[in-house]
């Protein structure tokens, strides 16, 4: 089940939150764990069995870490080995949905234990943290120490539930009104690329927008659901396309993964404490790992190395700390769009082929696909471009106002109803559409 | 929101509850007219644990397909797209209608088109290889009659909304393959557009269907026959005269409710021009069909269902059948011709039967015995490939390759 599925929206979500709020805070970890397992196992019993076995192993090894930390390290090795096996080898278990994310949560917990956090004796607390359905499949990757206390007795309020609902619907709308509308355009333009360099560039730009709205919409929905359940997740996407450097972009894009790598890889490797060479090496290690984390094909490695090199160059030249500028933004956006082209391709030859189309291998002809995209979807493109900036958020705040008044509540509720209805209309029209990041 | 958060919560849960109740109260539909497909039904638990995943996963397509008032919502959104002037709606292109952009020629919005796709490189290579095999192994001359696709013939009338560059490139690729394999190329596309202006060509294709009408099929067949005469495949005198056929316009008495319009929810409103033709004197012709090559009546093959009020492409042409043979002892060319084809060929049966004493029509999209059996059993002495220019020709290539498996 995904959090944009009708099964979730019309049945699981209302049922879960009614039940969740009936129980007292101290019992909610059990509801959260049970709900997470039901959510995850829906249609994927084998994946759920793998998940449960791993949870059990992590819990036991973390308890044994009280005697010797070697057990926690063994747990980390087990998690990494499982992730590698799922991702890079054709195991009979296939690739369990969300494994990249939940295994990072498990590693987070085990590393925290090696660093002195108390191993969790109550299996329901750990299970509630790992199986927390809003973040289980596609993040945000919340580190254990950030949620450890809340998960034991999460407290919900009317305000949190209402705010969470709004955030959830805004996320759903981003998915349905923008990401799902950009998807067929990207696909058509990508197919059209051999006939037109303009199509190749437009496909790359549309994919960059689609990926942003697809992934950030999930994060919005997850953050909203987390809030409804009494948790405050960190922001995962902070208007990354307004960045002036690639380094800044990745502080704003999938920030929870960036934080995870910073806290559990970059800093343990020495971070920036060992001089320039060591810092650059550490950065490259992080980016190679980030590339590998995304997939087993060579294009992901090339994508990671490409970004690592750019970030290293920015570090060396001081560009990473430069003031915001239009040229910086333009350079960053072009580099990011190029990197997404490599990322989106099925393999490296396809990526190189598409890049060659962008740089002159195809004539810069205006094909009918380009014309139709601009003619029919200009409003989607415009909204997507505006949606990448804080303008809409600021405008919304100005109109609704920050005060707790009846007018504000009614306006926000009306907006939510309109967005929800429009999203349902477009989901019904477009049919089922999975999130891009479920495959990672 | 501290005091008034309840408003948001209640509104959201009322909306979800309404939909959930509507699901429960509504009667599931079997078919989506606008999408021309069956709709998912409530999953059924088969009882075994191995079915559990399938059962649970069945809910999402069911809930998607059976969303309350789904068909009405789809039509409303489609109408919105059409009213706001979208060119590409539900996978269907609607032509640009601005007369200023079409040199004063008005190209109605009811002219609907599917996308043209570039025939992919693999398909082109496979076709070239299969064609080489056919030319070298069959022992009879092979001619590739390339038929003009609607998108190619009518792009000019779209005022730039779409071009026929891809169609032209597909035609070029087909010519390349023909030349390398040693097949005779009969290009009916280029001379067709040269011979008829856009206004005339517009009358030769159905508006709401991807095919030409019988007039288009006839005019292209004339051009193909003349090109075949130039190539020495038939005598110039064998090209049928206009008076060898009878014409009828069915537009006033019949409707042509076709799929592309149905997708857009505008079925029955498009007035189609429905010209049909038939051979003037088919009295001595004999017809065979089916894998058992059973003899049948003419009405079982040609213009079958033409009396119906609702017509479709198969009724004004010939249904896509596995096998058809027409014998015309009066034809000028004493040849046994084998035609491999797609649906564009359907409306050309009477025309080519008027030229050749025997035509055998095979549709490789169906399961067929090996091609070499037909060539041997029916004394075939000419093979015609009759496909429109944008066809990937995958079924044809597979059929040829299956008939002469690569020994390596």
Report the largest interatomic distance among the alpha carbons of chain A, rounded to a whole angstrom.
69
Tell me the per-residue pLDDT of A423-435, one tens digit each, with 9 for 90 and over: 999 999 887 667 7
Predicted confidence at residue B99, as pLDDT, reads 62
For residue A388, give the nearest of A185, A251, A211 by alpha carbon. Answer: A211
CA distance B200 to chain A (A): 24
CA distance B18 to chain A (A): 9
Predicted confidence at residue B36, as pLDDT, reads 74
Q: What would the two tokens of residue A406 be? A: 């009846």
Q: What is the mean pLDDT of chain B?
A: 89
> A38 and A130: one domain?
yes
> A107 and A204: one domain?
no
Which residues is B144 bridged to in the sheet? B185, B385
- The pair phi, psi for residue A256, each rounded to 5°, is -70, -35
Chain A positions touching B67 (Cβ under 8 A) are 6, 424, 428
Q: How far apart are CA B92 and CA B266, in angstroms?
A: 12
Across the interface, of A404, A425, A432, the residue whose CB is closest to B60 is A432
Task: Please state the three-class secondary structure of B248-299 as a single string.
Answer: EECCCCCECCCHHHHHCCCCCCCCCCCEEEEECCCCCCEEEECCCCEEECHH
Those residues whose C-beta lies under 8 Å from the C-beta of residue A16, and which sit 6 or more positions away, are: A31, A35
Q: Answer yes or no: is A299 within a domain.
A: no
Q: What would the two tokens of residue B7 be? A: 């408003």
Q: Do A162 and B6 touch (CB under 8 A)?
A: yes
Q: Which of A86, A120, A155 is the last residue of a domain?
A: A155
Which residues is B318 bridged to in the sheet? B302
Q: How far apart are CA B338 and CA B141, in angstroms?
A: 11
Looking at per-residue pLDDT, the higher value among A101 and B165 belongs to A101
Tell me the per-residue pLDDT of A226-237, one tens digit each, with 9 for 90 and over: 999 999 999 999
Q: Answer yes or no: is A354 within a domain.
A: yes
User: How confident is the model over A111-121, as a mean pLDDT?
Assistant: 91
Q: Answer yes or no: is A256 within a domain.
A: no
Searching chain B, which residue's CA lies closest to the CA of residue A169?
Answer: B12
Searching chain B, which residue's CA lies closest to the CA of residue A194?
Answer: B118
For residue A261, give the nearest of A291, A239, A231 by alpha carbon. Answer: A291
pLDDT over 90, % of chain A:
76
Q: Report whether B375 contacts B138 (CB < 8 A).
A: yes
Q: Which of A155, A172, A204 is the last residue of a domain?
A: A155
User: How confident is the model over A113-122, as a mean pLDDT?
Assistant: 90
Chain A positions touching B2 (Cβ under 8 A) are 158-159, 404
Q: In 10 A of CB B7, how many CB atoms?
A: 18
CA angle B182, B185, B187 (to 5 degrees): 165
Q: Answer yes or no: is A71 within a domain.
A: yes
Burial A336-352 (b: 16+ CB within 10 A, else e): bbbbbbbbbbeebebbe
Q: Do A372 and B162 touch (CB under 8 A)?
A: yes
Q: Does position A308 have pLDDT exceeding 50, yes or no?
A: yes
> A62 and A144: one domain?
yes
Q: Does position A329 have pLDDT exceeding 50, yes or no?
A: yes
Those residues whose C-beta lies under 8 Å from the C-beta of residue B252, and which sit 6 or more positions away, are: none
Predicted confidence at residue B408, as pLDDT, reads 46
Searching chain B, which residue's CA lies closest to the CA of residue A158?
Answer: B5
**Residue among B2, B9, B12, B50 with most chain A CBs within 10 A, to mutate:** B12
A294 labelled catalytic: yes
Q: Does position A7 have pLDDT exceeding 50, yes or no?
A: yes
For residue B335, give the nearest of B138, B141, B134 by alpha carbon. Answer: B141
Predicted confidence at residue B103, as pLDDT, reads 62
> A65 and A106: one domain?
yes
Number of folded domains that form chain A: 2
For residue B306, give the nearest of B318, B321, B295 by alpha carbon. Answer: B318
Tell me the per-residue pLDDT of B347-366, one tens digit each, with 9 for 90 and over: 999 999 999 999 999 999 99
CA angle A202, A361, B166 (to 5 degrees): 70
Q: What would the two tokens of residue B359 be? A: 């035509």
Domain assignments of chain B as residue spans, ordered by start = 5-68, 119-403
Across the interface, of B13, B17, B166, the residue whose CB is closest to A195 is B166
Q: Answer yes or no: is A315 within a domain.
A: no
Q: Answer yes or no: is A255 within a domain.
A: no
Tell me the per-residue pLDDT of A188-219, one tens digit each, with 9 for 90 and over: 899 888 878 999 999 999 999 999 999 999 99
Complex ipTM value: 0.87
A163 touching B (Cβ < 8 Å): yes
Q: Report whether B14 contacts A171 (CB < 8 A).
A: no
> A144 and A170: one domain?
no
DSSP B121: H
For residue A339, give the nearest of A287, A271, A390 by alpha carbon. Answer: A287
> A143 and A178: one domain?
no
> A145 and A182: one domain?
no
Q: Do B166 and A425 touch (CB under 8 A)?
A: no
> A335 and A217: one domain?
yes
Q: How far apart are CA B197 and CA B211, in angstroms?
A: 18
Domain enclosing residue A172, as ranges: 160-244+323-361
User: How confident is the model over A246-269, as a mean pLDDT?
Assistant: 94
> A149 and A33: one domain?
yes
Q: Which of A361, A385, A415 is the last residue of a domain?
A: A361
At CB < 8 A and 24+ separation, what contacts does A310-318 make? A310/A246, A310/A335, A311/A246, A311/A247, A311/A250, A311/A283, A311/A287, A312/A280, A312/A283, A312/A284, A314/A245, A314/A246, A314/A247, A315/A247, A315/A276, A315/A279, A315/A280, A315/A283, A316/A276, A316/A280
CA distance B288 to chain A (A): 43
Q: What is the mean pLDDT of chain A?
A: 92
CA distance A200 to chain B (A): 15
> A219 and A111: one domain?
no
Q: What would the two tokens of residue B98 be? A: 């601005």
Q: Report whether A412 contacts A228 (CB < 8 A).
A: no
**Residue among B4, B25, B45, B62 with most chain A CBs within 10 A, to mutate:** B4
- Which residues in chain A (12-71) have CB-CB distances under 8 A to chain B? 13-14, 42-46
pLDDT in tens, chain B (408 residues): 457 889 999 999 999 999 999 998 988 899 887 777 899 999 988 877 778 888 998 999 999 999 999 988 988 888 888 888 888 888 888 866 666 665 656 566 778 888 888 888 889 999 999 999 999 999 999 999 999 999 999 988 877 767 788 899 999 999 999 999 999 999 999 999 999 998 899 999 998 889 999 999 999 999 999 999 999 999 999 999 989 999 999 999 998 876 777 777 765 567 889 999 999 999 999 999 998 999 999 999 999 888 899 898 889 988 778 999 999 999 999 999 999 999 999 999 999 999 999 999 999 999 899 999 999 999 999 999 999 999 999 999 999 999 887 654
Q: Answer yes or no: is A236 within a domain.
A: yes
């Amino acid at each position: 089940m995904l959090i944009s599925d009708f099964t979730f929206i019309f049945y699981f979500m209302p049922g879960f939150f009614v039940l969740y709020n009936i129980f007292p805070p101290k019992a909610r970890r059990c509801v959260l764990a049970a709900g997470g397992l039901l959510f995850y196992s829906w249609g994927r019993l084998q994946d759920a069995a793998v998940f449960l076995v791993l949870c059990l192993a992590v819990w036991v090894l973390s308890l044994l870490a009280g005697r010797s930390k070697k057990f926690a390290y063994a747990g980390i090795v087990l998690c990494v080995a499982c992730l590698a096996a799922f991702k890079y080898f054709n195991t009979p278990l296939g690739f369990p949905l969300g494994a990249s994310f939940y295994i990072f949560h498990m590693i987070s917990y085990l590393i925290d234990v090696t660093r002195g956090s108390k191993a969790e004796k109550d299996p329901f607390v750990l299970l509630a943290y790992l199986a927390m359905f809003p973040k289980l499949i596609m993040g945000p990757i919340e580190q254990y120490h950030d949620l450890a206390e809340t998960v034991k007795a999460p407290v919900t309020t009317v305000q949190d539930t209402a705010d969470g609902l709004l955030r959830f619907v805004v996320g759903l709308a981003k998915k349905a009104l923008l990401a799902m509308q950009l998807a067929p355009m990207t696909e058509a333009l990508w197919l059209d690329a051999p006939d037109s360099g303009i199509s190749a560039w437009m496909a790359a730009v549309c994919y960059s927008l689609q990926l942003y709205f697809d992934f950030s919409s999930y994060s919005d929905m997850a953050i909203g659901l987390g809030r409804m359940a009494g948790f405050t997740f960190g922001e995962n996407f902070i208007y990354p396309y307004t960045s002036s450097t690639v380094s800044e972009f990745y502080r704003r894009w999938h920030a929870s993964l960036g934080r995870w790598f910073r806290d559990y890889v970059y800093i343990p490797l020495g971070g920036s404490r060992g001089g320039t060479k060591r810092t650059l090496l550490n950065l490259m290690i992080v980016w190679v790992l980030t590339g590998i984390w995304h997939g087993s094909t060579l294009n992901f490695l090339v994508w990671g190395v490409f970004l690592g090199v750019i970030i290293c160059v920015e570090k060396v030249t001081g560009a990473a700390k430069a003031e915001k500028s239009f040229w910086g933004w333009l350079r960053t956006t072009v580099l990011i769009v190029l990197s997404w082209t490599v990322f989106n391709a099925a393999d490296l030859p396809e990526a190189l082929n598409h890049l060659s189309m962008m740089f002159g291998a195809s004539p810069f002809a205006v094909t009918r696909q380009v014309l139709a995209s601009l003619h029919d979807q200009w409003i989607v493109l415009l909204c997507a471009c505006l949606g990448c900036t804080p303008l809409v958020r600021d405008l919304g705040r100005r109109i609704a106002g920050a005060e707790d008044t009846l007018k504000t509540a009614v306006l926000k509720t009306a907006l939510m109803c309109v967005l929800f209805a429009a999203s349902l209309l477009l989901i019904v029209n477009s049919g089922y559409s999975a999130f891009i990041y479920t495959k990672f | 929101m501290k005091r008034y958060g309840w408003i948001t919560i209640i509104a959201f849960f009322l909306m979800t509850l309404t939909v959930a109740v509507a699901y429960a109260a509504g009667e599931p539909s079997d078919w989506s007219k606008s999408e021309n497909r069956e709709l998912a039904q409530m999953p059924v638990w088969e009882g075994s644990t191995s079915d559990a995943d399938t059962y649970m996963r069945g809910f999402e397509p069911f809930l998607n397909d059976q969303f309350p008032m789904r068909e009405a919502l789809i039509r409303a959104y489609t109408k919105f797209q059409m009213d706001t002037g979208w060119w590409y709606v539900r996978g269907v292109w609607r032509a640009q209608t601005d007369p200023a952009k079409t040199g004063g020629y008005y190209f109605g919005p009811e002219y609907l088109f599917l996308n043209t796709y570039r025939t992919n490189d693999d398909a082109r290579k496979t076709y070239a290889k299969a064609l080489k095999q056919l030319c070298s192994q069959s022992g009879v001359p092979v001619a590739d009659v390339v038929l003009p696709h609607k998108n190619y013939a009518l792009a000019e009338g779209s005022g730039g909304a779409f071009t026929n560059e891809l169609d032209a490139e597909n035609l070029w690729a087909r010519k390349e393959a023909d030349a390398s394999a040693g097949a005779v190329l009969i290009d009916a596309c280029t001379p067709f557009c040269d011979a008829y202006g856009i206004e005339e060509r517009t009358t030769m294709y159905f508006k709401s269907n991807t095919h030409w009408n019988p007039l288009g099929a006839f005019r292209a067949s004339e051009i193909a026959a003349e090109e075949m005469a130039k190539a020495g495949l038939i005598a110039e005198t064998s090209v049928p005269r206009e008076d060898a056929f009878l014409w009828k316009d069915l537009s006033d008495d019949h409707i042509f409710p076709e799929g592309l319009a149905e997708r857009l929810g505008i079925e029955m409103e498009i007035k189609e021009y429905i010209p049909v033709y038939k051979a003037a004197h088919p009295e001595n012709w004999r017809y065979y069909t089916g894998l058992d090559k059973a003899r049948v009546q003419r009405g079982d093959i040609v213009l079958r269902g033409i009396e119906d009020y609702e017509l479709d492409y198969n009724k004004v042409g010939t249904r896509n059948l596995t096998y058809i043979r027409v014998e015309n002892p009066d034809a000028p060319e004493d040849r046994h011709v084998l035609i491999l084809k797609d649906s564009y060929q359907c409306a050309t049966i009477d025309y080519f039967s008027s030229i050749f004493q025997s035509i055998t029509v095979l549709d490789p999209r169906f399961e067929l015995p090996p091609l070499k059996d037909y060539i041997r059993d029916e004394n075939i002495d000419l093979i015609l490939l009759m496909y429109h220019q944008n066809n990937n020709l995958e079924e044809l290539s597979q059929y040829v390759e299956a008939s002469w498996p690569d020994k390596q």
